[in-house]
Amino acid sequence: MQELFFYMDDSGVLHRNSGDKFFIYAGYVFKTKRQKDAALCRYRAAELSLSSTKKEVKACKLKPTAKRYLNSVLRDDESFGCVVRIGRVYERIMQDKQSIHRFKDYCIKLAIKAKISALLAAQKISAEEDINIHLFIDNQPTSTNGYYNLCESIREEFQHGVDNFDYSAHHAPIFHHHVEVSATFCDSARTVLIRASDLLANALYTKYNHRPELKLSNRHYCQIDLP
C-alpha cells in the first residue's frame, strides 16, 4: 500500500479584526517513512546547529538569517501551501466559531488534494493503488458538530468524489482504489516536522502580509489560493 505523511501548521489569525490580510497553512509531505525520518534528522541537526538547547525552535523567535537557513534544509522535499485571503471569506463563516473551524478543515482538505493531484500528475504516486494518508497537524480546535469529520470528508472525496449541489456538479475521485486517512494533532515542541512546517508557514505569512518580494527556495512546492 502507498503511504503519504503530511505535516502542516498555520500562520496568522483567521479573523476580521486580526489585522492580517492573509491566513496560511503550509507544510511538507513524504512518500515513505524512510524519507520522513531522513528529513526529521536533517532538520533537527540544523536546529541544534543554531541552539545547543533542546527547547522548541519557533519561527517567531528566530532572526531572518536563521529562518532562511532552516527553510533551506527541506527545500528538496515535497511541500505545499494554502493562502487564504481573509477579506474574501463569507461573513457568515467569519461570524461563527464552528463555521471558522469547518472552513479551516476545508482549507486543509483542498491543500492536501492540490498537493496529491500534483504528485499524481508527476507520476510520483499512483491513482490505481490503495493509499494510506497520515496527517500530522499542529494542535488546534477542530469542528465536531453535525456529521462533519476531517478524515472521513477527505476519504469520501478522494475515493468516491463529491457532489456540489449548489452548482449541480460532481467532482470525480482522485483515487480508484481504497483510501485510508488518519489525523494526529501534535505538540510542536515534540514534533520536529511540525516546527519545519511552522517555519514554512511563517515565510508565506511574511511574504503575503508584509514582504511580497520574498521568494521561497522550495523546489517541489504546490500552492492553492482561497477562496
Q: What's the pLDDT band for 12 if we cut at 50, 70, 90?
A: very high
Residue scoring higher pLDDT (183 or 166): 183
Q: At what angle do helices 192-209 and 64-73 cross, to 10 degrees?
A: 120
Average pLDDT, integer, range 166-174: 73
pLDDT at 133 over 90: yes
Tracing cell 499512483 back to the chain, one arrives at 126
Q: Are 133 and 154 in contact (CB under 8 A)?
A: yes
Distance CA 102, CA 105 (A): 5
Cβ–Cβ < 8 Å for 8, 136: yes
Q: Distance between CA 196 and CA 186 in Å, rounded? A: 13
pTM of the model: 0.91
Total domain count, the chain: 1
pLDDT at position 8: 97
Structural domain boundaries enclosing 194 = 2-226
Whether 104 contacts 15, CB under 8 Å:
no
pLDDT at 217: 87
Segment 36-45 long-range contacts (CB within 8 Å, at least 24 positions apart): 36/5, 36/193, 39/74, 39/77, 39/193, 39/196, 40/192, 40/193, 42/73, 42/74, 43/70, 43/73, 43/74, 43/192, 43/193, 43/195, 43/196, 44/192
| CA-based torsion, 149, 176, 33, 79: positive or negative | negative
Which grid cell sits at 191? 514534533
The percent of residues in the chain predicted with pLDDT above 70, rounded, is 91
The cell 492573509 sits on which residue?
22
Instruction: Evaluate whether 23 touches 86 at the Cβ level (below 8 Å).
Output: yes
* Distance (Å, whole) CA 127 – CA 134: 17
- Work out whether strand 131-138 and strand 78-85 pair parallel, antiparallel, or are unpaired: unpaired
CATH of the domain at 83: 3.30.420.10
Task: Read off the pLDDT of residues 53-69 as tens digits, 9 standing for 90 and up.
Answer: 566 677 777 888 999 99
